[in-house]
Amino acid sequence: MKEPFKTAREACMKRLHSSHRISAVHSESACSMNLRIHFFSCVLVACLSGCQPAGETRFQGYVEGEPVLVAAQQNGQLTSLAVQRGDAIQTGMPLFSQDQAVEAASVSQAKAQLAQTQAQLSNLATGKRPPEIAAIEAQLKDAEARRKLSVEQLARQQALVAKGFVSAESLDQVRTQLARDQAGVAQMRAQLATARLPGRADERAGAQAQVSASQAALEQSTIKLEQKSQRAPVSGQVQDIFYRAGEWAAAGQPVVSLLPAENIKVRFFVPETRLGALRAGQTVGIHCDGCEAPVPAVIRFISASAEYTPPVLYSEKNRHRLVYLVEAWPQPKDAARLHPGQPVGVSLNVSGQ
């Protein structure tokens, strides 16, 4: 070390003497001070270079949530809002409801239409009504009584003709009347049988189709009525509310934002030099302020392209400046310890040691 230091001192003295601005004593003092500063700077740089870690063990990131947006399925004015921001809710709990007057009226109309078509089908399936059948039965009895009378008259006329008291022409008239009465009985029996039969197959099929159409209309009206009241599709926390009671919410517009615990993830960035140490399914440790222990999370996604890359030319010398997005998902029971937007640290060692 002495020889290089002596050579540098002589070179410094030579430059100062050649300038003719300071004396020899001051020249020697200035050169000695400059060389000492240069020497200690070299030692400090060497120490700092030797103290840098070989590779990063913890990466910076933040917590992010993927909310579930519950939208209005029908146009209407909000009549009630059952939740507030920050509420913890379970699946199936009511969230909000809209004005239901029109949909309720449609349901009532559809029920009445269904009852009408079902009655028509039932009427075709059972034939005529009992009073109508009773009237036909009475007419049949009357026809049978007339036929009986004609049979008796024919017997008497035949006896009289045999004794020669009446002409054969009278006998023909009685026979004609008996034939007419027998036809009347047959006709009334046919009408009674027809009255007891159900409607024709085509009529019953048409009535059944009307019943099915009425049932479908009722189901559609019921669905529209149910869509005016929304319930929580998942369990989670209410993150935001976009409409208030009394406001008009159009179909498809989100009204409530829910954040399930299973939708909370951590996004962090890894330099290119450490990218090869990560893989999907690997468990990492999440460190946050106030967390007594690291929160375990599983890597699900590793970006295939660099992000937040400075405008540099790619080369072996500067490729360590590239960073890649990685997403890790904690278990739902552990996700409650994390909050969206919270800065965190991520270590490849789950224990954080």
pLDDT recorded at residue 101: 93
Q: Is the pLDDT of residue 286 over 80?
A: yes
**Average model confidence (pLDDT) across the chain:** 79
Extract the tokens encoding 293: 């222990």
Q: Rounded to whole angstroms, how far apart are CA atoms 20 and 26?
A: 12
Q: How far apart are CA 237 and CA 90, in angstroms?
A: 9
The pLDDT assigned to 132 comes to: 78
Instruction: Using the predicted structure, report yes or no on whether residue 7 has a pLDDT greater than 60.
Output: no
Q: Is the pLDDT of residue 222 over 70?
A: yes
Amino acid at 270: V
What separation, in Å, do the N-terminal and C-terminal C-alpha atoms of the chain show? 42
Partner residues linked to 344 by β-bridges: 61
- Structural contact between residues 250 and 75, judged by C-beta atoms closer than 8 angstroms: yes
Range from 53-67, 98-112, 190-204, 294-308 that averages highest in pLDDT: 98-112
Backbone angles phi, psi at 163, to 5 degrees: -90, -10
Q: What percent of the chain has pLDDT over 90?
A: 44
| Percent of the chain with pLDDT strictly greater than 70 | 77
- What does DSSP assign to residue 228? T
Helix (H) / strand (E) containing 44? helix 24-51
On the CB side of 10, CA atoms within 13 Å amount to: 5
67-115 pLDDT, tens digit each:
999 999 999 999 999 999 999 999 999 999 999 999 999 999 999 999 9
Token pair for 285: 């440790």
pTM of the predicted model as reported, rounded to 2 decimal places? 0.59
Query: What's the pLDDT at 190?
Result: 82
State mean pLDDT over 114-131: 82
